Structure 1
Amino acid sequence: MSLVNFFNEFDQLFDEAFARRAGGGSNNQLQHQPGNAPRALRPKIDLHEDKDKNLVTATFELPGINKQDVNIEVRNNVLSISGETKFSSDRDEKGYLVRERRFGHFARSLPLPEGVKPEEIKASMDNGVLTVTFPRQTPEQLPKRISVS
């Protein structure tokens, strides 16, 4: 199974779990639940696999978020990106005709290939785009050619 297919299945599993818990459908929009408690935001992600360079690049869309407000953790071979966008308290509720910007906690997780060490993961952020790279396969997992004698 390719990493992309595995990621899609993993992502769908989380979507279904959150949807069941929230009692609604799953999508990437902020959803309001009974009691006006917002559901966690899910940043959009692009996942690219470069087999020649043995590298996977995950690009997360985090507009308006500073890198200091982003948490990146690895636990049990799962990379988790999380943080919180805060609503500016200097703006009152009066005067808004349309309000589509979303505020609150955000989180996104994706499985890592076996053997990826946290020190092999690199992250950078530029203009609201978080880029995380890690090896597609570790040296121990790469195929080794065995000659026939």
Structure 2
Amino acid sequence: MSLIPSFFGGRRSSVFDPFSLDVWDPFKDFPFPSSLSAENSAFVSTRVDWKETPEAHVFKADIPGLKKEEVKLEIQDGRVLQISGERNVEKEDKNDTWHRVERSSGKLVRRFRLPENAKVDQVKASMENGVLTVTVPKEEIKKPDVKAIDISG
């Protein structure tokens, strides 16, 4: 068991992931203001799981509150998967009194460099109950031709 996941909040940090293109913010947990406001940080830092199966690379992103039409999925520079979207601040009525505002708004952009075995022309995506699932099939590994040779004697 590695010490890294427990040190970084129980999840692998993208700073150690050579395929992640996200910027690591070493000051994100400090109590002073950063470049992201507190109300936007939850949406902007959307968590994405990436697993590799024998057949594909599968990404799952929690994007609650967005419709599939509000999420943009692109392959850039031939091998970079980009997931983006935006949740706008809810319109306020002058007569409303807010007691608590916890839902986040802002822009979401996550990028992942896909490995060489990814079939970027066959990417499929679906969204259900606020979870975006992106499946990137993998190239089949060609098994080398094996020819049996009889041993005489």
TM-score normalized with structure 1 length: 0.69
User: Are 2:49 and 2:59, in contact at CA under 8 Å, matched by a contact in 1?
Assistant: yes
Percent identity (aligned): 27
- State the match for 1:58 in structure 2: 59
In structure 2, do the counterparts of structure 1 residues 13 and 117 end up closer, same or farther at CA, with 3 Å as the change threshold?
closer
In structure 2, the gaps of 5 or more residues are: 1-11
2:47 to 44, 51, 55: 44
Give the secondary structure class of the aligned counterpart of 1:14.
coil
TM-score when normalising by structure 2? 0.68
**Aligned counterpart for 2:22 among listed residues 8, 14, 23:** 14
Question: What is the aligned partner in structure 2 of residue 95 from structure 1?
Answer: 97
Shift of 1:32: 5.2
How many residue pairs are counted as aligned between the two chains? Answer: 131
Q: Distance in 2 between matches of 1:43 and 1:34?
A: 13
Aligned-partner Cα distance in 1 for 2:37–2:135: 39
1:130 corresponds, among 109, 113, 132, to 132
Cα distance, 1:88 vs structure 2: 1.7
* Greater gyration radius: 2
One-letter amino acid of the structure 2 residue matched with residue 144 of structure 1: K
Q: Which runs of 5+ in 1 are unaligned?
A: none
Q: CA deviation at 1:95?
A: 2.3
**Corresponding residue number in structure 2 for 1:147:** 146
